[in-house]
Amino acid sequence: MPKQPINVVLNGKPVTLEVEPRTTLLRALREFGVTSVKRGCEEGECGTCTVLLDGKLQKSCMVLAVEAEGRKVVTSEGLLGPDGELHPVQKAFVEEGAIQCGFCTPGMVLAAVDLLNRHPDPTDEQIKEGLSGNLCRCTGYVSIIRAVHKAAAMLKERR
């Protein structure tokens, strides 16, 4: 199957990806070198391939790359500040030990950013619901929930 070019705005920069109809957004991004988007189950279960597509969380293994034509994609790399400093959510994950093997982290961080946009001061239940699509097999989630609370406080201070 011949490849076709698609145009997306990746972390604020317009780029062209060469894809087949069957290429998922996950595979297209990884082939382009965006390795924070992890290939886990590729069945929409694990959430390691989570991205923000036009501001909404999506599992990129469930999106065909051609569906992203003309749309904005944000990955974990896109959360960094202008001088490369970590986003408060990323910082909180590091400080609270919410990262162990790190495989789920990029997706988990994006889900946490989206959650905090919707609920700036979330309850434990809201955090669990917001992160329900992202599996972590290391932490038992306790440190992740702690990190999200910490990030919420950091973001509040910044406002």
Partner 1 sequence: MLAFEMERPASLKEAFEILSRSGPDTAVKAGGTDLLVWMKKNLVHPELIVDLSLIEELKGISFDPSGGLVIGALATVNEVAEHPQVGKFYPALMDAALSHSDFVMRNKATVVGNLCSAVPSGDMIAPCCVYEGVMHLVGPAGRRKVPVMEFITGPRKNVLQKGEIVKSVELPLPKGHSAGCYLKLGRRNALDLAQVGVACVITDGPGEREYRLSFGAVTPRPVRAKVAEDLLRGVVSPDESLLDKVAEAAMACVDPITDVRASREYRISMVGELTKKALRKCLERF
Q: Which residues bind partner 1 (CB under 8 A)?
A: 1, 20-22, 24, 42-45, 47, 50, 56-59, 61-64, 66-67, 111, 128-135
- Residue 142: CB minimum distance to partner 1, A: 16
Q: Cβ closer to partner 1: 4 or 100?
A: 4
Least distance from partner 1 to the Cβ atom of residue 17, Å = 15
Residue 71 Cβ, how far from partner 1 at the closest point, in Å? 11
> For residue 111, with 0-12 CB atoms within 10 Å meaning exposed, 13-18 middle and 19 or more buried, which class applies?
buried
How far is Cα 112 from Cα 50, in angstroms, rounded to an integer? 11
Q: Cα-Cα-Cα-Cα dihedral of 108, 114, 120, 124, to 10°?
A: -40
How far is it, in rounded angstroms, from Cα 91 to Cα 79? Answer: 11
58 versus 90: smaller Cβ distance to partner 1: 58
Strands (E), the chain: 4-10, 13-19, 50-53, 56-59, 72-74
Nearer to partner 1, 13 or 118 (CB): 118
Please, which residue, 98 or 127, has the CB nearer to partner 1?
A: 127
Q: What is the DSSP letter of 92?
A: H
* Nearer residue to partner 1 within complex by CB, 59 or 146: 59
For the bound state, the minimum distance from the C-beta of residue 49 to partner 1, rounded and expressed in Å, comes to 10
Cβ at position 157, least distance to partner 1 in Å: 26
Q: Residue length, the chain?
A: 159
